[in-house]
Structure 1
Amino acid sequence: MPSTAYLVAVLAIVFGITLALRAIPFAVLRTLRTSAIVRQLSVWMPVGILAILAVTALHGTVTAEPRATLYALLAVAVTAGVHLAFGRRTILSVGIGTALYVALVNVIP
């Protein structure tokens, strides 16, 4: 068993690193608010997330049965439709699209 001093030192290092990792974003928040890069990321990240969801959903269905591919395409279309229809709310559209896909795959034989 390691000595008490060793354990205290390890815990102090872990605490320091964790505190620093949590404090750094707040320390640079003012700079990030005026950043052009962050503004661009806020525009393109939702599209990227939806693209990753679409690729992930369709990737596993290509080798599966055709019905699974149809369900994935339907879920991707619904996700894109919800995203455009309800004010580009990414969490809402991804949640509804994912729920629809899971429901289609598990409920309809």
Structure 2
Amino acid sequence: MTDTLQMLVTIAVIALATFATRFLPFMCFGSREPPAMLSVIEKNLPPMILLLLVIYCLKDVQWLAAPYGIPELFTIGIVAGLHFWKRNAMLSIFTGTALYMALVQFHVFSFF
């Protein structure tokens, strides 16, 4: 298969999958209430995903070597405080990302 044909097939499959994931819930639940189990998943999935993201982000931190995970812990504290203060997930996520990138890029905690 040529590169162009492979790229077009890939784009078509991705577009079809995206369309299907947007269209199927309306087909399945358009005229009735979703099952109770789906409501439980809908309520609990965002915190579970965020917990998995935090665990994934901290998995490679060198806790016994400088800077001992201080940028990560500092950023987690700032994000948690900002989120509890403003209750705005987007603000917390973007501020935490920018803060962590700045701390690591400018070696703020490199004095250890």
Q: TM-score range by the shorter chain?
A: 0.5 to 0.7
RMSD: 3.6
Quick one: which amino acid aligns to residue 104 of structure 1?
A: L
Identity of aligned residues (%): 26
Q: Which letter does structure 2 place at the counterpart of 1:84?
A: F
| 1:58 and 1:73 in contact (8 A); partners too | no
Q: Which runs of 5+ in 1 are unaligned?
A: 2-6
Higher relative helix content:
1
Aligned length: 99
Cα distance in structure 2, aligned partners of 1:33 and 1:71: 45
Stretches (4+) displaced over 6 A: none
User: Aligned partners of 2:31, 2:91: CA distance in 1, in Å?
Assistant: 29
TM-score normalized by the length of structure 2: 0.60
Specify the alignment match of 1:92 in structure 2.
Answer: 91
Per-residue deviation, 1:103: 1.3
| Distance across 1 between alignment mates of 2:55 and 2:32 | 30
Give 1:61's aligned amino acid. Answer: V
d(CA) in 2 for partners of 1:51, 1:32: 32
Aligned match of 1:4: none
Q: Distance in 1 between matches of 2:53 and 2:39?
A: 22
In structure 2, stretches of 5+ residues that fail to align are none
Structure 2 CA distance for aligned equivalents of residues 106 and 32 of structure 1: 51
Distance verdict in 2 for CA 1:74–1:29, change over 3 Å = farther
The equivalences for 1:24-39 within 5 A come to 24-30=24-30, 34-39=34-39
Q: CA deviation at 1:69?
A: 0.6
CA displacement at 1:18 relative to structure 2: 1.5
